[in-house]
C-alpha cells in the first residue's frame, strides 16, 4: 500500500476480514469478468450475483459503464486512461474483499499487465479471472449498444477489438465460451469455480 500523499498512516480496523467472512458465512473474493464489448460480461456477472443472492451471499457488481459515471467519470479511453480506470477498480475491489464481500467486476480490461496488476494487488487466492470468450464477429452481430457500428464508421476512437487491441488471458484465467454457452450454464460454471476455491458452499 504505497501512496504519494505525505503524512498519512494506515489505520488498521479492529474488525478483521475473517470476522466479516464468518458473519457472512462465505469467503470474499474478486470475480473478474473480462472480454470484448458484447461478450456477455455484465449479463453473466449479474446472473452470478442473482444466484449468489439466492444463496444468502453478500455481493456487489462493479460494471464498466456504471463506474465511468462516477468513480472514473474523469477518464477517457486512451491507453493511459484505461490503465488508470482498471487501477481504481482494482483498489475498490480490494476494499470490498476486506469487507467480506464477493465483488464481481465486468470490464473489458484489455491489457494483460493491468489484470495481472490487480491480481497481485488482491492476491492469487482471492482473484478469480473469468474470460468471456466470444469471437469478434459474434460481438459485432450482437452490438447491443451500437458501439461497433460507430467504431467501424470512425466515430469512436481507441475501440477495443477494432482500433485498439484486446490481449487474451494466457494463464490462470477460466475461459467460458459465451457465444455457445447459455447464461444459466455459464453462471453454473462460475458457481462451481467459487465452490472449488472454497468461497461458497455447495447448495
The answer to whether the CB of 57 falls within 8 A of the CB of 23 is no
> Which 3 state secondary structure label does DSSP give 17?
helix
What's the rounded Cα separation, in Å, for the pair 89 and 86? 5
From the candidates 37, 109, 164, 186, give the one annotated as an active-site residue: 109
Q: What are phi and psi of 113, to 5 degrees?
A: -60, -40
Nearest to 36 by CA among 181, 153, 136: 136
Q: Is 28 a catalytic residue?
A: no
Quote the cell numbers at residue 58. 453478500
Residue 192's H or E segment, with its range, is helix 183-196
Nearest to 95 by CA among 131, 62, 68, 130: 62
The residues that are catalytic are: 109
Amino acid at each position: 500500500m504505497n501512496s504519494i500523499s505525505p503524512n498519512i498512516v494506515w489505520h488498521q480496523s479492529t474488525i478483521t476480514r475473517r470476522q466479516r467472512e464468518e458473519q457472512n458465512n462465505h469467503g470474499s473474493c474478486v470475480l473478474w469478468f473480462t472480454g470484448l464489448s458484447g461478450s456477455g460480461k455484465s449479463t453473466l456477472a449479474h446472473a452470478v450475483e442473482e444466484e449468489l443472492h439466492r444463496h444468502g451471499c453478500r455481493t456487489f457488481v462493479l460494471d464498466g459503464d456504471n463506474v465511468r459515471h462516477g468513480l472514473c467519470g474523469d477518464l477517457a479511453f486512451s491507453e493511459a486512461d484505461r490503465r488508470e480506470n482498471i487501477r481504481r477498480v482494482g483498489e475498490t475491489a480490494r476494499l470490498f474483499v476486506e469487507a467480506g464481500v464477493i465483488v464481481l467486476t465486468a470490464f473489458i480490461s484489455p491489457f494483460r499487465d493491468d489484470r495481472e496488476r490487480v491480481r497481485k494487488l488482491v492476491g492469487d487466492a482471492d482473484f478469480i479471472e473469468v474470460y468471456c470468450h466470444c469471437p469478434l464477429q459474434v460481438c459485432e452481430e450482437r452490438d447491443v449498444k451500437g458501439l461497433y457500428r460507430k467504431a467501424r464508421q470512425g466515430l469512436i476512437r481507441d475501440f477495443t477489438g477494432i482500433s485498439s487491441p484486446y490481449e487474451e488471458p494466457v494463464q490462470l484465467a477460466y475461459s467460458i465460451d459465451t457465444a455457445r454457452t447459455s447464461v444459466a450454464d455459464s453462471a453454473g460454471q462460475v458457481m462451481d469455480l467459487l465452490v472449488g476455491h472454497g468461497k461458497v458452499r455447495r447448495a
